[in-house]
Amino acid sequence: MAFSPRRFSPAIALKVLLFFALSVILVGTAWLWQRSPRSVASISMPHDHKGQDKGQAPKTHPIDDLIEHAGTEWFKLMAKQTHDLSGAAKAYRARRGRHPPPGFDRWYQFAKDNNAVMVEDFFDQIYDDLAPFWGVEAKKIRRQAKRFDFVVSVRNGTATQKTDHERPWMNLWHDLTSTIQEHLPDIDIPINVMDESRVIVPWEDINEYVKAERGSRKLVPRPEVVTELMGLEDVDADAGEPIEIPWVTGGLYWDTARVGCPPNSPAREVPASTNFSGPPPMPSAFPERSYYGYVKNWTAAKDPCLQPDLRESHGTFIEPLSQRTTHSLFPMFGGSKLPMNNDILIPPAMYWTKDPFYSGGEEHGGPWEQKTTKVVWRGGGTGGRNKAENWTRFQRHRFVAMVNGTAVQVAEKNAEGPGRGENFVLQGYHTYHLTATQYMDLGTWLNQITDVGMVHLICFPESGSNKCPYTDHYFEVKSGMPMAKQYAFKFLPDIDGNSFSGRYRGFMASTSLPIKATIYAEWHDSRLVPWVHFVPMDNSFVDIYGILDYFIGTGLEYKTEDGKVVEGAHDAAAEKIATAGKEWAEKVLRREDMQIYVMRLFMEYARICDDQRDRLGFIWDMD
């Protein structure tokens, strides 16, 4: 169907309105009561903003503002780029308050030889992760690390691994380390072989550890600087007993986790829920801290300490597959973590693998204009152990249902509460001012623009092959779709599984547009800018309709005055972010970038494990 010449002229709007009048009339009275489509005349955007940003509502679409603002932030970040060793060392001293670690020149050379974009901020995660360890005696860290059961080690420039049996993730991390082994000091890297992150030190203790780091931070005068690491001969000579780490393996994970939140944070004193029946609590207005409904501060949007509702709406806190958490500080390296975790991040093994199941392989998708204007998602019902009593609280289940037009239509007609689905609650149409729903009901629109589905329901207890007594009626099990095939669609939502989602790097490197919700931190966080390289989404997913409405609109085609056929409301903006994300991934998420990150991290870690760490540093650039 093609319209001309402009999209929202009253004449067109009237035609379309008449066209869809029938479907509107057909919808039940309960639905009309809560969500009558707005009159097309009032198409300007009088945003309601209960407890959100105060002040004038923007004249443009809020997403326009967010994109513009993000572009400025991005520009500021890129202005910090350095171009030689002394520039990089200077930026280091300015940002970290110390001399760079020994070996910094070799690291810099490696990064330069591999054409790295050099911005000191890209390594912030390393310093967040390692800071608390300045509060632990170096010898203790060395010993604990050496004696752990799963360790990747480097001695004299050769990497080895210690494990109980062959493990693919161990092999991958060992392999990653091997590729840079000749540049690395002697180190022992304890590895988390589980999906879930493992270390949660009470916030009060971490605060003390971090204070120790602050206190020890200084630019040691040059004559006092030590430039050689002492090495690990002492721990190698002393086999010692295997270390005992006290693990918390049961109980309600939310209660285990929230001790890592700051004392005055909204989540710290909120106990775990025990009743997981029905839909989770969901914002009935714009999510807190959002910009007229859309993610403004990505760090805040990902943080469960700020959003206690997540204890009832994310599988991690409902019932994780496995739990093995320690409350004492231990140098555990792994691929992802929650904001309240104290694990040390390395690039996930799934990002290092060449297995196309995770990486998407060499295929990154064709040109934007050849893609189908649809949202595609495939995945298993992971997130934790979903059961009859609690499946309605799992994020993947919620996302799949919320963009399933049929499930949405059923929810809208729910006599017990209009908008109430089995595992989500819809907001009134007036909150996000959707354009598409002025022409048709939400479900009809979604059925036109989405192709999502579970490929395995993964229920507990299992009953036969892929049968799930409590969710069978609600989800169609679709066949899988390789990532390379998904790239034929424009929009790729990415939702957490048991922890972070391993396809994200592939999505970023694709020509399609990732729409990302997560509560997990990853190594690359400070190098990806939301609204510049990807579209951020709230973990409740209430903003998904607004996001799709902005980028896709009604999903119909329109003819512009010069006869050009355009699709969607802001198709060009979507293409721009998709393209910027891909180009950026090719510059800062390459395998080389993972090597560079890991090399920097391991050099810092080696310093922290050294008895002379306060005086160790790189100073050869200074005269």
- Stretch of 4-12, 53-61, 109-117, 404-412 lying at the interface with ligand NAG (CB under 6 A): 404-412
C-alpha distances (whole Å) from 533 to each of 3, 123, 206, 515, 527 are: 31, 18, 32, 10, 10
State which of residues 406, 463, 560, 612 lies at the interface with ligand NAG (CB under 6 A): 406
- Of 611, 602, 534, whose CA–CA distance to 573 is shortest? 534
Tell me, what DSSP letter sits at residue 334?
E
Region of 141-149, 470-478, 507-515, 544-552 interacting with ligand NAG (CB under 6 A): 470-478
CB neighbour burial string for 242-279, b if at least 16 within 10 angstroms, e if fewer:
eeebeeeeeebbbebbbbbbeeebbbbeeebbeebeeb
Residue 160 found at the interface with ligand NAG (CB under 6 A) = no
Binders of ligand NAG in range 221-260 (CB under 6 A): 252
The Cβ of residue 454 has, within 10 Å, a number of other Cβ atoms equal to 23
In angstroms, what is the minimal distance from the CB of 143 to ligand NAG? 17
Scanning 96-104, 468-476, 551-559, 565-573 for contacts with ligand NAG by CB under 6 A, the matching segment is 468-476
Query: Beta strands of 450-561 (E only): which ranges?
Result: 450-456, 489-495, 513-517, 535-536, 557-559
Q: Residue 370 interacts with ligand NAG (CB under 6 A)?
A: no
Q: How far is the CB of 275 from ligand NAG (least distance, A)?
A: 4
Q: Among residues 192, 390, 427, 540, which is the contact residue for ligand NAG, using CB under 6 A?
A: 390
- How many other C-beta atoms lie within 10 A of the C-beta of residue 75? 10
Strands 333-334 and 450-456 come out as: unpaired
Neighbouring-strand partners of residue 152: 161, 189
The binder of ligand NAG chosen from 132, 293, 365, 453 (CB under 6 A): 453
Quote the least distance from Cβ 216 to ligand NAG, whole Å: 24
- 3-state secondary structure labels for all residues of 574-596: HHHHHHHHHHHHHHHCCHHHHHH
Q: Does 159 bind ligand NAG (CB under 6 A)?
A: no
Report if residue 377 touches ligand NAG, rule: CB under 6 A: no
User: Nearest to residue 549, comparing CAs of 422, 373, 287?
Assistant: 373
For residue 391, what are the CA distances in angstroms to 221, 423, 425, 499? 59, 8, 15, 17
383: which 2 tokens? 């997130």
Identify the H or E element spanning 396.
helix 395-402
Residue 448 in contact with ligand NAG, rule: CB under 6 A? no
Q: Is 276 in the site for ligand NAG (CB under 6 A)?
A: yes
Position among 318, 329, 332, 569 found at the interface with ligand NAG (CB under 6 A): 318
- Of 41-49, 92-100, 298-306, 463-471: span binding ligand NAG (CB under 6 A): 298-306
Q: Does 184 bind ligand NAG (CB under 6 A)?
A: no
- 84 near ligand NAG (CB under 6 A): no
Binding of ligand NAG by 407 (CB under 6 A): yes
Residues lying near ligand NAG in the complex (CB under 6 A): 155-156, 252, 274-278, 297, 299-300, 306, 318-319, 387, 389-390, 400, 404, 406-407, 410, 453, 474-476, 478
